[in-house]
Chain A
Amino acid sequence: MPNRIINWIDRRFPFTSFIKHDLTGYPTPRNLSYWWNFGFLAGFVLVLQVVTGIFLAMHYKADVTLSFDSIQHIMRDVNYGWLLRFMHATGASAFFLVIYIHMARTLYYGSYRAPRELMWWTGQGLLLLLMATAFMGYLLPWGQMSFWGATVITNLFRATPFIGDQVVIWLRGDYGVGDATLTRFFSLHYLFPFLIIGVVVIHLIALHTVKSSNPSGIDLAAKDNIPFHPYFTIKDFFGLGIFLIVYCLFVFYMPNSLIEPANNIPANPLQTPTHIVPEWYFLPFYAILRSVPNLVGGVVAMGLSVMMFAFMPFLDRSRIPGGASNRPMVKLGFYLFLLNMLVLGYVGATPPTNRTILIGQIATLCYFGSFLLIPYISKAEERWLIKRGLAPEVQALIESEARQIEQAKHPHSRRAGDIA
């Protein structure tokens, strides 16, 4: 009977072939390390955020006079409301942590390179959507940091040429952040996750077209690919277990460490907090914003700092396949870049003093400098590595890629011996 139903469906919808092609039998490189778990984890956190968010929205009230109280109602009176709220608030941090590791893996192993540019760019779009969703969600508790964070960030749109002031009013729905801002942020905070799901589908379709990259950076022969199920389902579930242990340690034992104390004070438009700080995941970009003394320059620098990643496929011009493991200079650059991110994060978290402003400006220069130097470094490194001698499989791959490019240029050319 079940077979007959599945047959009935299969004649009308590619159910079995989809499962086989994209889930159970999806060919996956067997040498993937645990760094390749983070895409799956990001998908899991997305579902977690949507589910907890939907239940929170049943009790939350988007109204400046009620929202702070409704959060306390959730925390105190709703059955397990505290659990939902802490899971959602911790989940936001977990989402960024997982995504940043996912991005760092892509950078380290050079997974953004051909033919995976579209994966990288859809990923970049997902990052922007995630940042927008997190930013709008942060306003909803209507605490002091929610209000002033939203005020500072919407105010940045004053940098728009000619119509800056109008854009800010249009975004806020009022002259200042107020009820109109809160209700539209709530509406969009509910909408954006579904856009994210849509882009994730595109991201996955692209993935299943180009297949996963792998630590060696070399396309593996068919014998080195193994079916996704059961090998990677079980590996992902094991990784998920580790992730959930860390996540639950935060949810159950230190959920307040991720909530700014000032956000436990209801928003007060007449009283600016002494020190406005964004959440940890925005700190490096916030530091870049503050490092440029002029508003327009700061906004452009901050926007560029997020968008710089999209240029990676163009900046990295080396023909050496794979990532940092084959390329010592890229490896060094990668670690220095991470270190620089930590410095920027520290600068973003501290109140501006002469010393931190200077450190922030140097770190900002290093940030953009490391992107702009990549074309030269990657070419110099390529020459050096070729001179030193490459491993035979790396050599073979470079040659086969060169042939493909040649063929793409002259699709109709025939070589002697080709069958007409």
Chain B
Amino acid sequence: MRKFIVLLMLCFSVLPVWAAEAMLENAQVDTSLPTIERGVEDLMNNCHTCHTLKYIHFRDLAKLGIDRKKIDEWRGDQTMDASLTSMMSDESSMQSFGLVPPDLSLMTKAREGGADYVYSYLLGYYSTPDGEIKNHIFPVTKMPDPLGISTTTDHAQREEIKKTAHDIVSFLSWASDPHEQERHRMGYYVIGYLVILTLLLYFVKNQIWGRLD
């Protein structure tokens, strides 16, 4: 019993670490096609100017089922095999921001807190009384508030921005792990099969061991 009490105490000593992560808002990622389609559209309008998605190609979007007309509009004269490369050259980003904006292909996997982190970060901008715009999730960020949450006071508009952030994060979650849905579907069958197999093995084992007296 004492061991369990000590173990419990140990668990609670980890709690402060979780509490820091719990400050993130839940992004409630939705990887259904309409959300992802809205998400990629919002991303092309708000993020794509500066950010690249090296591992996402236009053909991947077509394969997913995104409207072909929209894809053609985005890619212009690039081939279907081209990646979603930002419109800014590395040199001009260096001049404007002092760094090359990070690639977004793996963004929701590359931060502690995942999609919730990116969502909270996009919505984390606020105006200080002396007119500066800051972010409470990532204070040293160099990215200007892309969705304009810091200057919007109207409730309906803020809800609209939250929805945009949600859609963008949903698309980024898909982009960081495009086979996730396939994986979950397959896991359902694999684990179902294993459970049945293991049960049968258990019965066979009991039968064989039953021969011993």
Contacts and interface: CB of A to CB of B under 8 A. Distances in A.
Nearest to A335: B3
Interface in A248-304: 248-249, 251-253, 255-256, 259, 261-262, 264-265
Given A238-B198, A252-B184, A335-B3, A72 B105 contact: yes
B9 to A, nearest CB: 11
Contacts of A244: 194, 198
- Of A76, A231, A256, A335, most buried by chain B (CB within 10 Å of CB) is A76
Interface string A342-377: 110010001000000000000000000000000000
A339 B106 contact: no
Nearest to A144: B110
Interface in B141-196: 176-179, 183-184, 186-187, 190-191, 194-195
A335 B170 CA distance: 45
Given A238-B202, A261-B110, A339 B183 contact: no
A262 B55 contact: no
Contacts of B19: none
Contacts of A75: 179
B contact patch SS? helix
A251 B188 CA distance: 12
Nearest to B178: A76
B105 to A, nearest CB: 7
Contact of A249 (B6, B110, B191): B191
Contacts of B23: none
A153 to B, nearest CB: 22
Interface string B1-43: 0010011001001100100000000000000000000000000
B208 interface: yes
Nearest to B117: A261
Contact of A264 (B17, B110, B208): B110
B130 interface: no
Contact of A238 (B17, B55, B109, B201): B201
A252 B190 contact: yes
A129 interface: no
B87 interface: no
Point out which of A86, A235, A252, A255 has the most chain B C-beta atoms below 10 A from its C-beta.
Answer: A252
B64 interface: no
A82 B201 contact: no
Contacts of B17: 350
B112 A261 contact: yes
Interface in A79-110: 82-83, 86
Given A76-B55, A230-B208, A251-B187, A241 B110 contact: no
Nearest to A72: B55
Contacts of B179: 75-76, 82
Contacts of A230: 208
Given A238-B202, A350-B17, A261 B109 contact: yes
B184 A241 contact: no
B68 interface: no
Given A72-B106, A264-B110, A339-B10, 14 more contacts: A231-B208, A234-B205, A238-B204, A242-B198, A248-B194, A252-B187, A253-B184, A253-B187, A256-B177, A259-B109, A261-B109, A261-B112, A264-B106, A339-B7
Interface of A: 30, 69, 72, 75-76, 82-83, 86, 226, 230-231, 234-235, 237-238, 241-242, 244-245, 248-249, 251-253, 255-256, 259, 261-262, 264-265, 335, 339, 342-343, 346, 350
21 contacts: A76-B179, A82-B179, A83-B186, A86-B183, A231-B209, A235-B205, A238-B204, A241-B198, A245-B191, A245-B198, A248-B194, A252-B187, A259-B109, A261-B110, A261-B111, A264-B106, A265-B102, A265-B110, A339-B10, A346-B13, A350-B17
Interface of B: 3, 6-7, 10, 13-14, 17, 55, 60, 102, 105-106, 109-112, 114, 176-179, 183-184, 186-187, 190-191, 194-195, 197-198, 201-202, 204-205, 208-209, 212
